[in-house]
Every structure is written in C-alpha cells, then in structure tokens.
C-alpha cells in the first residue's frame, strides 16, 4: 500500500482531521470546595463564594495535621497473623481523611450534543449532581466511572452546575486512601451517534517478527439500525499509517469488527515499549459523526506450565514491585510528572513490572507503564464479601463487584503493559468453603471481558487454598510470602506455575543502622526505626535474598512483586501497635521522599543487567565505636570485591553458593571502625579491577547541597522537579547524622509544592516550606507555573551556608 506520514501525537486530536464531533477536556480549574456536610450544596442557586478555591486533582486530607487520634483503630489484623485485637495508630497515616467533602464547578455544552462526565477516581461514595439533580452514584473510590448527563443539561446556553459529594467513613481503609476528587475529571462532548467510553477492544491473535494480526472491535451508540461505516488507520510508532480498512454494517448492539495485518511489527516490551494507534472515523449514512483513537501495543504473552512466562516468545521472570497509590508528600492527588519520576527510579533499579495494590490505578500510571516499559498486574480489591475493615468494600461487593470489574477491564484491556489481572489480595473469603465460587465469579468476568490475559489472586492462607479448591481454580496461583510453601503448592496444584504475588516485606529506615547486624523479625527499637542493613522483616515475611533464590533456582516460579517499591502513608509495621508517631510504612525499597534506601542497590545489583552496581554501607560516622566491629556490606553486580579501611585490607570476598546471603551480598563482619575512609575495590571475572567506591567519615556540617532531578520544566502548571537536599561538610561529604531544620524560599516561574524527609516518625507538614532533614537528606518538590521564566530556589538552615538553585521553565 502507499504510505502516508502523520504526526502520531496529533493523531488523536480533532485538529488533525478538522472535525469537532468529539471534544474532551479536563475540568481542572475553578472548583470550589468545603469540608463537612452542607445542606442544599447541589442546588444551582447555592452560594459557594465562601468556599475554598481549589484545583482538581485535589486531596484535602494530605494537609493534615498529623494526629494520633485521626485514625485510632482497635482491630485484629488477621493477614498479619494476629489472633486478638489491639490498638493501632498511624494505620491510615495519622491524617484526617474521614468525613464529607463537597465540590462545585460549572461547564458548558453546545446545544444538540451529548455530554458525559468521566471520573478517574473519587474518594469515596461519590454522588454526582448536575443542575441540582443526582445523575449517578459510585461508591468505590478507586475506580473510574462515567455518567451520561445529557438529559440534565440546560438547553439555553446557560452554564451547567456540577456538584460532587464525597464521604470517607471511619475504618474504611487500612492504609491512607486520600480524600476528595484526587484524580482527574473529564468532560466528553460527542454527537448523538458516537463510540462510548472505553468502546473499543484490540487483540493481537497472532504475533511474530514477520507479521501480526490485529483485531479491532468498535462499539457505536445512538445509531439504532442505521448504516455505519468505520474507516480505521493503524499508525506505527514511526508515525506511519501501516494499514487501513473500511468496514460497513448495521449496528445492532454488537461491535463492528475489523481485522488487520501489520507487517514487520514493532513488538512492545519493557526494553522497547513501542506503541501503535488505531484512528477510527465513524460515518453514519455517509456523514462523519465521530473519531475515536485507541492506543495499543503488539506483543504476545504465554504462561507455560513447568516453563514459566514468555513475552514475545522470550522467557523472563517478573522483577516487579507492589505500589500503593499515594505519592508521598503529594498525597493521593495524581500527578503524571510525579509518577514518571517514580517509574524512572524503578526503571534504573531494573524493575520491569508493577502490581497496583490493592486497587484500580490512575489512568496516568497505566499510560506511563505503556510508554516507559513496565508490565502490569492490575488489581481491583482488598476485600470481597467478608470484611477486613468495618466500613470496607464488603458493604458493596454483592451489588457492585461486577460493575467495578467491568469498568476496570474495559478501561485497561487495550493497554499492552497489562499482562495479568488480579482479582484480590489476601481476602478472608479465600478460607470460606464457598470462597472458590466467589473467585470463579470474578475470574469469569475477566475471561468474558478479556480472554487474552490470565487471572491471579494474592493468597496468604496456603493451608486453606490448597485444600478448598480456591488456588486450583485460578489461572495463575499467586502466593503472598510463605516462601517455605512454594514447592508444596507447586506439587499439589495443577497449573505448574507459582507467582510471588507479594514478596519480602523487608523493613528499613534510610540511613539507620543497628548493631549487631543480624536477621530480626518485627524487632522494635526505642527510636521507632528499622535497620538499613536489610536483615529485618516482619513475622510473616523474609529478607530479599530468599525471593532472589526462588526465582533463580526453580523454572516454575515466574517472578515476584516486592512489597513495596516505595514507602507509603499508613501501615507503619512493625510499629503499628500504639507506636505513635510512626505513620508511614518502612517496606519501601525507596523512602517516602523518593530517596533510594540501601536495599535499592541490592535489587539493582541483581535486576539491572545493563549497568553495573557498586554500593557500600553503612555510613562511617560511628563515634564511640572506635576499635569495635561495624560490619560493612557491599551490594554489587560484580563477582568479587576487596575492602580497605584507611588503606588496610580486610580481605577480598566473592559471591558464593555456600549460604543464602553470600549469593547476593558481600559482607565483612570483621570490619573494625576507625574514623577515616572506607574503600571498596571491585573485580571482574578475570580478576581485573573495574570499579571502586569510597565512604568517608564526615566533618562538621558546613553547607546545603541541592541536586535536582532535572533543570528544565514545562510551563504547564503541573510539571515537577524533585530536588535532593543534602547537608554536607566542607569537603562535600554527606553528614549522615544531621537532622537540621531547613526552610525554603521559592520565587519566580514556579512554586514550592511539598517536601519530605523519609522519616516514618516525622510530623512536619508536607505543604509548609520547612522540613527537618533525616540523616542528612530530604526532598524538595517544586512545581512549574504557566509562564516561561526562571524559578529561584534557596534553602537555609541555621549555622550552614545556604543552598541555591535556578530552574528554567519554558
């Protein structure tokens, strides 16, 4: 065929074709908000001038204040092996998320058009009103939903009033859920005849290097029995129309089907995340009525018994992490720039997969995983019909589970990053005699809506699920922890595969090291921290080395999803039993301030096959330990290394199969502390020196160093830069024990957005321009404005030379 070139980024915009049948806009600005119940707030004539002006996405609870009384719960956490109730503090972050919030704004729709409001997520129990009438109710705060509001619109050109009432009940979550319109709200305007929300489905029934078959199903609404024509162009990652098809037919509630052959396709993978776009123009009786774009990828997935997971015919194991939805100091309010930064850190670590635990993700996360190359396990629920939380999802499961599943599946079934669905996490129903029937109900919905991907479930009660048929019924059995049961489960179950659906739960505080450096489970310390020697876990879990070995030693294990990639607000295990002020997790490989912990480099040394890793711990400021043992650990992709302290060799170590920890770490328990310099020299397989790293005893704190993630921002009012703030001595060495208070002054073409230090006990407010450093470091987040210019950032602390930085916005 004759190729014609187009700009792929513009392919889904109306201007490309000169048509305006479909217009989608974000309702971001001009919102009014108030916390608390307000009578009559849905009315067109209601006066909201005294309400707060906000921008959506908006999380009203993240501003605090932190308080022990915000989320006290006297509960038994069965999935943590607890047998009786105890008082829990900080379980949902110690933030005031409970209560009612109202939002109001207005919008215009031209006469004769259809209008749909699409909510990417609203926390929670959303009641949507247009011009005073309730147009829809959606209880689950994590799911996307939409409301056709056409019949409620003004027809005389007047603005339409949109009001949203949200309510978070006490004990409705077991981590920080956020509060408010924390994800985007879209206004979709179409003709009467149009492709509905999530109205297409693309599959690739055959994929190889030579060609791929692509099948597109397109649903059209409003056509009744009229003749339709669909003209679709498939546009390649090179912005080339590689194939086109025109299909005619009569619409009778079934989708119109088009089949294509793409020659020499670009195959989507984490290493090469190439994306295509199908641009479909809809004609009714010769009139162009709609244009709909579907982004997709061409790739094959196979799960083969005894052998494992194959992507595009290549065997691989998931190197994944679980993540909650909050963005640390930004709260639950979604920001694509923040998500991109998080994913870039995980990418450098060698992570290639994300589990959306334990809820539907923000659409922006899935889009970025498509673009940046992360496979995804998308998961909807943390509980089914049996409660974990008093006011949890079980209240709505019977009526709403299928509706929620259908929305999730139709929303994300065209995304190539999605390679597996999960139907739940550690649900109490797994031990019910009828539990397998509930699991089958949910799995069948997945198979009906998307027959191309398998279904798993995160199971932690191995005894139950092996006996009652629950695990045997699933496409892929997913085991949370319980590593000692993997082999037994493999031998008893029919699938011939085991997935580590949730692994590790190793706990650590960045820059904190406890002696002696030995394995501990749920160890408690007076400072409410955990050791970054990465030898501490919870009673139900294990250190990372165990999961590395399971992936390496058994072909029937298909990889793991580590709990968690990032620290998150809430669940401060092991300090969850009346241990205030702890209010954030310690599970993260990366802390709440988006600063990598030592454990990051342990995973990187195993997972990142493209770049070498050489990382040394701990710090070397141990006043009072002179002449005593202070173990030195090295996380490296090199096979061996030698330790020197002030020039004296403490021996050369090689990775060894003789013990678990010696397989993945190099450790010198014989290291003796004396102030000065620790140097590690790395060797390759031939014994050649290839790299070295040095850690020095720091002197007195001298100045503030600012290290930005980048220096140029987009003038879109949303772009973010993450600045790592370090307190260093005169020579530039990090001062690892400094906890100074720092204040920030931001001027010019942007603004201070938030800061965090990664300390799970710190009660400093994220949104105020001041923060204590934690072990010498914190993160400062700056947001661009809408105009080009320069942002001037100054960080000050008493007795230290200030840090200064200029950022360009354009």
**Catalytic residue selected from 426, 571, 674, 705:** 426
The candidate with the shortest Cα–Cα distance to 563, out of 479, 484, 487, 497, is 479
Strand 256-263 relative to strand 86-88: parallel, antiparallel, unpaired? unpaired
| 3-class SS of residue 703 | strand
**Angle at alpha carbon of residue 449, lines to 447 and 453, rounded to 5°:** 50
Burial of 443 (0-12, 13-18, 19+ CB in 10 A): buried
Please state, in angstroms and rounded to a whole number, the distance separating the CA atoms of residues 237 and 416: 14
Strands 145-148 and 200-207: unpaired
CA distances from 394 to 63, 702, 779 (A): 29, 55, 38
Q: How do strand 227-235 and strand 241-250 relate by DSSP bridges?
A: antiparallel
**Edge-to-edge strand list for the sheet holding 145-148:** 23-26, 185-190, 114-119, 145-148
In the sheet with 200-207, reading across from the earlier edge strand, the strands are 200-207, 211-218, 256-263
Q: What share of the chain is helix, strand, coil (3-state, %, to 5)?
A: 15, 35, 45
Q: How far is CA 475 from CA 316, 472, 668, in A?
A: 18, 8, 44
Handedness of CA 214, 215, 217, 218 (dihedral sign): positive
Residue 657 CB neighbour total at 10 angstroms: 8
Contact 795, 744 (CB under 8 A): yes
Q: Give the torsion sign (CA, 233, 237, 238, 243).
A: negative
Provide the b/e sequence for 687-697 (b: ≥16 CB within 10 Å): eeeebeeebbb
Pairing relation of β-strands 789-796 and 114-119? unpaired
CA distances from 205 to 216, 452, 577, 600 (A): 11, 9, 52, 38
Which residue among the candidates 191, 502, 571, 674 is catalytic per the annotation? Answer: 502
426: annotated active-site residue: yes
Task: Give the Cα-Cα-Cα angle 210, 215, 216 (nearest 5 degrees).
Answer: 135
3-state secondary structure string, 731-772?
CCCECCCCCCEEEEEEEECEEEEEEECCCCCCCCCCCCCEEE
Taking Cα atoms as reference points, which of 422, 451, 307, 335 lies closest to residue 753?
A: 335
Q: Measure the CA angle with vertex 549, ends 613 and 562; round to 5°.
A: 70
Close Cβ partners of 583 (under 8 Å, ≥ 6 residues apart): 66, 89, 90, 93, 94, 95, 569, 570, 572, 760, 761, 763
Can you tell me whether residue 118 is helix, strand or coil? strand
Sign of CA dihedral 41, 44, 46, 51: positive
Q: From its phi and psi, is residue 402 left (phi > 0), alpha (psi between -120 and 50) or beta?
A: alpha
Side-chain-side CA neighbours of 715 within 13 Å: the count stands at: 11
Contact criterion met (CB below 8 Å) for 377 and 355: yes
User: Which residues are catalytically annotated?
Assistant: 426, 502
């Amino acid at each position: 065929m004759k190729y014609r070139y187009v700009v792929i980024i513009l392919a889904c915009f109306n201007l490309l074709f000169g048509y305006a049948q479909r217009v989608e806009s974000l309702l971001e600005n001009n919102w009014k908000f108030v916390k608390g119940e307000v009578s009559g707030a849905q009315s067109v004539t209601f006066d909201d001038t005294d309400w707060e002006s906000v921008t959506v996405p908006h999380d009203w609870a993240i501003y605090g204040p932190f308080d022990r009384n915000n989320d006290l719960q006297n509960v038994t956490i069965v999935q943590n092996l607890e047998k009786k109730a105890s008082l829990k503090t900080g379980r949902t972050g110690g933030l005031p998320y409970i209560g009612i919030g109202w939002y109001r704004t207005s919008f215009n729709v031209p006469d004769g058009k259809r209008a749909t409001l699409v909510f990417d997520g609203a926390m929670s129990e959303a009641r949507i009103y247009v011009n005073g009438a309730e147009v829809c109710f959606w209880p689950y705060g994590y799911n996307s939903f939409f409301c056709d509001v056409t019949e409620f619109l003004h027809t005389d050109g007047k603005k339409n009033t949109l009001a949203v009432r949200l309510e978070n009940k006490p004990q409705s979550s077991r981590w920080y859920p956020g509060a408010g319109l924390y994800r985007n709200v879209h206004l979709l305007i179409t003709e009467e005849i149009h492709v509905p929300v999530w109205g297409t489905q693309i599959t690739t029934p055959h994929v190889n290097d030579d060609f791929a078959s692509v099948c597109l199903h397109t649903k059209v609404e409003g056509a009744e029995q009229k003749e339709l024509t669909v003209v679709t162009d498939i546009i390649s990652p090179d912005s080339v129309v590689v194939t086109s098809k025109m299909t005619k037919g009569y619409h009778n509630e079934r989708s119109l089907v088009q089949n294509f052959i793409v020659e020499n396709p670009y195959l989507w993978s984490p290493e090469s995340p190439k994306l295509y776009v199908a641009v479909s123009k809809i004609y009714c009786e010769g009139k162009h009525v709609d244009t709909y774009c579907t982004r997709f990828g061409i790739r094959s997935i196979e799960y083969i018994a005894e052998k494992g997971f194959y992507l595009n015919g290549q065997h691989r194991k998931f190197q994944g992490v679980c993540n909650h939805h909050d963005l640390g100091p930004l709260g639950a309010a979604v920001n694509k720039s923040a998500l991109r930064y998080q994913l870039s850190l995980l990418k450098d670590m060698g992570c290639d997969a994300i589990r959306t635990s334990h809820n539907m993700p923000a659409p922006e996360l899935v889009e970025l995983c498509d673009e940046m190359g992360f496979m995804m396990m998308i998961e909807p629920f943390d509980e089914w019909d049996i409660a974990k939380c008093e006011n949890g999802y079980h209240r709505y499961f019977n009526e709403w589970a299928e509706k929620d599943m259908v929305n999730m599946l139709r929303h994300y079934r065209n995304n190539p990053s999605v390679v597996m669905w999960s139907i739940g996490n550690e649900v109490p129903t797994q031990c019910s005699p009828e539990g397998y029937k509930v699991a089958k109900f949910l799995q069948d919905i997945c198979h009906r809506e998307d027959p191309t991907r398998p279904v798993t479930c995160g199971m932690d009660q191995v005894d139950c699920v092996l006996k009652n048929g629950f695990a045997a019924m699933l496409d892929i059995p997913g085991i949370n922890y319980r590593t000692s049961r993997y082999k037994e489960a493999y031998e008893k179950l029919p699938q011939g595969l085991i997935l580590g659906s949730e692994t590790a739960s190793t706990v650590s505080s960045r820059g904190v090291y406890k002696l002696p450096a030995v394995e501990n489970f749920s160890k408690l310390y007076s400072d409410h921290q955990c050791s970054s020697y990465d030898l501490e876990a919870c009673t139900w879990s294990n250190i990372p080395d165990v999961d590395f070995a399971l992936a390496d030693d058994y072909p029937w294990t298909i990889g793991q999803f580590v709990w968690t990639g990032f620290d998150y607000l809430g669940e401060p295990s092991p300090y969850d039993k009346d241990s205030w002020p702890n209010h954030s997790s310690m599970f993260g490989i990366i802390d709440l301030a988006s600063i990598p912990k030592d454990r990051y480099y342990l995973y990187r040394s195993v997972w990142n096959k493209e770049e070498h890793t050489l990382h040394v711990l701990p710090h070397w400021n141990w006043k009072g330990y002179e002449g005593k043992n202070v173990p030195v650990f090295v996380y490296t992709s090199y096979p061996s290394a030698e330790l020197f302290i002030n020039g004296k060799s403490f021996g050369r170590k090689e990775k060894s199969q003789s013990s678990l920890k010696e397989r993945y770490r190099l450790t010198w328990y014989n290291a003796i502390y004396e102030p000065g310099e620790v140097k590690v020299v790395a060797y390759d397989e031939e014994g050649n020196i290839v790299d070295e790293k040095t850690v020095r005893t720091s002197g007195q704190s001298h100045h503030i160093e600012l290290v930005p993630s980048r220096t140029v921002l987009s003038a879109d009012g949303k772009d973010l830069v993450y600045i790592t703030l370090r307190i260093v001595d005169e020579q530039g060495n990090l001062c690892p024990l400094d906890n100074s208070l720092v204040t920030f002054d931001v001027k010019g073409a942007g603004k201070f957005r938030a800061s965090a230090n990664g300390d799970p006990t710190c009660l400093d407010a994220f949104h105020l321009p001041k923060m204590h450093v934690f072990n010498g470091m914190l993160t400062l987040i700056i947001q661009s404005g809408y105009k080009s210019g320069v942002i001037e950032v100054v960080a000050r602390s008493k007795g230290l030379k200030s840090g200064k930085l200029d950022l360009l916005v354009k």
